[in-house]
Amino acid sequence: MHTPTFRRHRILRKNKNTLALTSETEIRLSDFIAPLFVEEGSKVATPIPSLEGHYRYSLDKALYEVEQLMNIGVVSCLLFVKVGEDLKDNQGKEAVNPNGLMQKSIREIKKRFPELVLMTDVALDPYSIYGHDGVVANNEIVNDETIKILAQMAVSHAEAGVDFVAPSDMMDGRVSVIRSEFEKNNIHNVGILSYSAKYASCLYGPFRDALDSAPGFGDKKTYQMNPANRREGVKEALSDVEEGADIVMVKPALSYLDVIRDIAQQVNIPVAAYHVSGEYAMIHAAAEKGWLDYDLAAMEATLSIKRAGADMIASYFIKDIARILGVRS
Ligand code: PBG
């Protein structure tokens, strides 16, 4: 029997068409979730310096931005709001205000774009005087009191018309409490995208600049995960599936591809990854110095996240990807 001494791997890389034919991973604009930052006012677009090309919009401008995104084939947005200092407290009172900026934004955006898959961040940090994701007592973040508030917050978003709530706080049991609060309130068609494996990462810096939500004391290591742990990410995701999550998410993305892979192999629901603000900023900074090619780096990072097993990606690169793919509105 003939035994080949070596294999001709390069046959499949002969030209751009063999490459296209044999590509295992594809990027589509419908795979993306577009983060969107909203602030009070009208006709406002405040640049976010550490997130180049991104702005905090007043609601009128945010509507225009959603329209632009939908025109290029994006189907989903994830809303964050910047809350005035005077509205912040320890309990996140403003977070459950039915006429708060978040709830108002949900109503307006869904009225104009009923087909958009609208998601909202659920955590107390933008509303907290301490910049923490939960209620603070004796320098600790109190779990069980926090999840009750998060569930009310989720219900208020659902009542305003959101499609998915995205709890990003990493308190224990919040998916379960949100799900049962939905049932109690006869909310049957609002999903939960849970930030399941969210790590205590240094890569959220630019985002915290955008919302002015950096922790006022300490850090988030008693609730967000230890970057050293891989199996624990799977444990968190499996527990969220049991509690009733519809989508699980890993965050950040590029430094946690192993976790994305493990979770994608072990759950039977869609897996999302959040390609976070610091990951975006790193590529921008290096490209600005001329040390790497911006477009190639953006594509390679995005492709790698999908290849690892993410079904969808929350990303600040969406418009760049559309431009690179040659998509026109
Ligand atoms: C709020 C929240 C954060 C991000 C998403 N939701 C910041 C944090 O946990 O400190 C980070 C997103 C990004 O960096 O792009 N809990």
Distance of CA 209 from the midpoint of ligand 1 (Å)? 10
Strand, helix or coil at 133?
Answer: coil
Question: Confidence class of residue 329 from pLDDT cuts 50, 70 and 90?
Answer: confident
The answer to whether 132 and 124 have CB atoms below 8 angstroms apart is yes
Establish whether residue 204 lines the binding site of ligand 1, counting it when its CB lies within 6 angstroms of any ligand atom.
yes
Q: Quick check: 304 pLDDT over 80?
A: yes
The one-character DSSP state at 73 is T
Instruction: Check the CA dihedral 95-182-271-110 and report its sign.
Output: negative
The answer to whether 219 and 205 have CB atoms below 8 angstroms apart is no
* Angle 156-159-161 from CA coordinates, rounded to 5°: 115
Is position 251 annotated as part of the catalytic site? yes
The one-character DSSP state at 226 is P
Question: Confidence class of residue 1 from pLDDT cuts 50, 70 and 90?
Answer: low
Tens-digit pLDDT profile for residues 163-220: 999 999 999 999 999 999 999 999 999 999 999 999 999 999 999 988 888 899 999 9
Establish whether residue 207 lines the binding site of ligand 1, counting it when its CB lies within 6 angstroms of any ligand atom.
yes
With pLDDT > 70 as the criterion, what percentage of the chain qualifies? Answer: 99
How many beta carbons lie within 10 A of that of residue 4, not counting itself?
A: 6
- Rg over alpha carbons for the chain, rounded to the nearest Å, is 20
Torsions phi, psi for 204 (to 5 deg) = -95, 5
Task: Average the pLDDT over 129-138 and give the result.
Answer: 95
Greatest CA separation for the chain: 81
Question: Confidence class of residue 3 from pLDDT cuts 50, 70 and 90?
Answer: confident
The answer to whether 282 and 320 have CB atoms below 8 angstroms apart is no
Tens-digit pLDDT profile for residues 236-287: 999 999 999 999 999 999 999 999 999 999 999 999 999 999 999 999 999 9
Task: Quote the pLDDT of residue 328.
Answer: 84
* Residue of 61, 88, 220, 251 with catalytic role: 251
Task: Quote the pLDDT of residue 261.
Answer: 98
Structure tokens at 29: 């604009």
The one-character DSSP state at 254 is G
Give, using CA atoms, the residue closest to atom 10 of ligand 1. 204
Task: Quote the pLDDT of residue 213.
Answer: 86
Distance of CA 204 from the midpoint of ligand 1 (Å)? 6
37, 128, 153, 168: which to mutate for ligand 1, most atoms within 8 A of CB?
168
Torsions phi, psi for 112 (to 5 deg) = -75, -35
Distance of CA 68 from the midpoint of ligand 1 (Å)? 24
The mean predicted confidence, pLDDT, of the chain is 96
Structure tokens at 281: 């900023």
* Residue of 88, 198, 220, 306 with catalytic role: 198
The answer to whether 153 and 95 have CB atoms below 8 angstroms apart is yes
Side chain identity at 85, as an amino acid letter?
A: E
Neighbour-count burial for 210-243, b at 16+ CB within 10 Å, e otherwise = bbebebeeeebeebbbebeeeeebbebbebbbeb
pTM, to two decimals: 0.96
